[in-house]
Amino acid sequence: MNTLRGRLFVDGKLLTGTLAWSAGRIVRVDLEGEIGGADLPVIAPGFVDLHIHGFGGFDPLTDISGMARALARAGTTAFQPTLFPNAPAELGRQCAALESRIQALEPGHGARVTGLHLEGPFVNPEAAGALPKEHLHVPSKAALKEIIGSTFGNKRGIGTMTLAPELPGSADLVKELVRCGIRVSLGHSRATAAEARAAARAGASGATHLFNAMQPLHHREVGLAGFALTDAALHAEIIGDLVHVGSDAIELALRARLPRGLCLVSDALRGAGTGCDVFEWHGRDHAVDGGAAYYPARGEGQAARLAGSAMSQLEMVRRLTSAGVLGLPEALTMATESPARALGLEREIGALKAGMAADFVVLRGKELQLEAVCVAGENVV
């Protein structure tokens, strides 16, 4: 049996104690009490990323194994590889091929893959953001079947789909996806609060990158963002680079939903984690500035366009806590427990409890230096 003593992150608090694990599982969590000093390392559950397109120079479609290894070395021990929209039949082929590669991954290869996340194609073109409009599609059961295949099969490894609930045909898709066991997240949308509420009643349970690619709050129509802030039906993602969402908006979300209602996501692109200032992906140049990735301006007088993040979840935790936007317990809750619960995996990952997977990170000092990352009890750093 292996043991490690430190400040264990348990039930939203940092408590002095000892973590014991064996054969990939946590065996015991012995707590001594609260501690305020920084002489012991922080031991927290491994981070869980619901929304990430690439990392470390890798992406799901070209090298899912490389992406999983790079993420584990950055503190993220479970993730949903997120695919951009495509024609339904092509997206279905991509998912089927990717599912086969995921199933072939060896245990201990890196971060766990918890299912694919499809960001579209059934989203609103008026709220496409950085998504390719030419690959968006009108919601229909026929198009959905092209993507997921047989509704009685394994759904080609798809765990989550982001869609816009206001589009004609979306209501039927929400019900069908829920029936098939696929989690529905609402995003890239111009939905009213009433439309979001109706989708939640039909089984939708997520809000994709809160505030981004959705209507801003208005005092006569709060929209999807307002509904996600005021109703616990949706687990709300939030990008924590302080570029996509400002500190005041994060504070608003935190006061409205508390840490257990918010999921810290990276929305990272392939160039994240490489240290590159410029990278090419999907035939487009990306420039990194301040932790975010942009499409450079294409002409005189045009501004660069935000494309995604260039930071890991741990980098976001460091940025949010050092800026005083979040306390460390709040940030850790949003990066571990909340996303695990959003996926229905709270009995397996996202917490330090006996019987759960021994997925955890060891962080040292005020800078939260990454000292160790364990996946199934094995150090991958």
- Per-residue pLDDT tens over the stretch 164-223: 999 999 999 999 999 999 999 999 999 999 999 999 999 999 999 999 999 999 999 999
The 10 Å Cβ neighbour count of residue 380 is 20
- 313 domain residue, yes or no: yes
Q: Give dist(CA 238, CA 246) in Å, integer.
A: 11
Q: Is the pLDDT of residue 299 over 70?
A: no
Q: pLDDT at position 151, please?
A: 56
Q: Give dist(CA 89, CA 91) in Å, integer.
A: 5
- Per-residue pLDDT tens over the stretch 221-234: 999 999 999 999 99
pLDDT interval class at 300 (50, 70, 90): low
- Per-residue pLDDT tens over the stretch 255-269: 999 999 999 999 999
- Per-residue pLDDT tens over the stretch 27-68: 999 999 776 666 899 999 999 999 999 999 999 999 999 999
Catalytic residue among 49, 241, 267, 359: 267
Active-site annotation holds for 30: no
pLDDT interval class at 154 (50, 70, 90): low
pTM: 0.96
**Site of tokens 């091929």:** 97
Burial of 203 (0-12, 13-18, 19+ CB in 10 A): middle
What is the average pLDDT value for the chain, to the nearest integer?
94
Q: Give dist(CA 304, CA 321) in Å, integer.
A: 28
- 26 domain residue, yes or no: no
- 355 domain residue, yes or no: no
Q: pLDDT at position 152, please?
A: 55
pLDDT interval class at 297 (50, 70, 90): confident
Q: Give dist(CA 151, CA 293) in Å, integer.
A: 37
Q: Give dist(CA 353, CA 336) in Å, integer.
A: 13
**Taking the CA atoms of the chain, what radius of gyration do you get in angstroms?**
20
Output the 3-class SS for the chain: CEEEEEEEEECCEEEEEEEEEECCEEEEEEEEEECCCCCCCEEEECEEEEEECCECCECHHHHHHHHHHHHHHCCEEEEEEEECCCCHHHHHHHHHHHHHHHHCCCCCCCCEECCEEEECCCCCHHHCCCCCHHHCCCCCHHHHHHHHCCCCCCHHHEEEEEECCCCCCHHHHHHHHHHCCCEEEECCECCCHHHHHHHHHCCCCEECCCCCCECCCECCECHHHHHHHHCCCCEEEEECCCCCCCHHHHHHHHHHHCHHHEEEECCECCCCCCCCCEEEECCEEEEEECCEEEECCCCCCCCCEEEEECCCHHHHHHHHHHCCCCCHHHHHHHHCHHHHHHCCCCCCCCCCCCCCECCEEEEECCCCEEEEEEECCEECC
Q: pLDDT at position 107, please?
A: 75
- 367 domain residue, yes or no: no
- Per-residue pLDDT tens over the stretch 327-347: 999 999 999 999 999 999 999
Looking up residue 230, the CATH number of its domain turns out to be 3.20.20.140
Chain mean position to CA 245: 15
Q: pLDDT at position 243, please?
A: 97
pLDDT interval class at 381 (50, 70, 90): confident
- 222 domain residue, yes or no: yes
Q: pLDDT at position 19, please?
A: 98
Q: Give dist(CA 23, CA 86) in Å, integer.
A: 41
Q: 306-315 b/e with 16+ CB inside 10 Å = b?
A: bbbbbbbbbb
Q: pLDDT at position 366, please?
A: 92
| Structural domain for 108, as ranges | 46-348
The 10 Å Cβ neighbour count of residue 329 is 16
- 380 domain residue, yes or no: no
The 10 Å Cβ neighbour count of residue 226 is 20
Mean pLDDT across 122-140: 95
Mean pLDDT across 107-111: 84
Longest dimension (CA), the chain: 63
- 368 domain residue, yes or no: no
- 39 domain residue, yes or no: no
What's the number of domains the chain is made of?
Answer: 1
CB 68 within 8 A of CB 371: no
**Site of tokens 């040292």:** 364
Q: How far apart are the first and last CA of the chain?
A: 20
Q: pLDDT at position 36, please?
A: 61
Q: Is the pLDDT of residue 145 over 60?
A: yes
**Site of tokens 């709040």:** 330
CB 318 within 8 A of CB 366: no
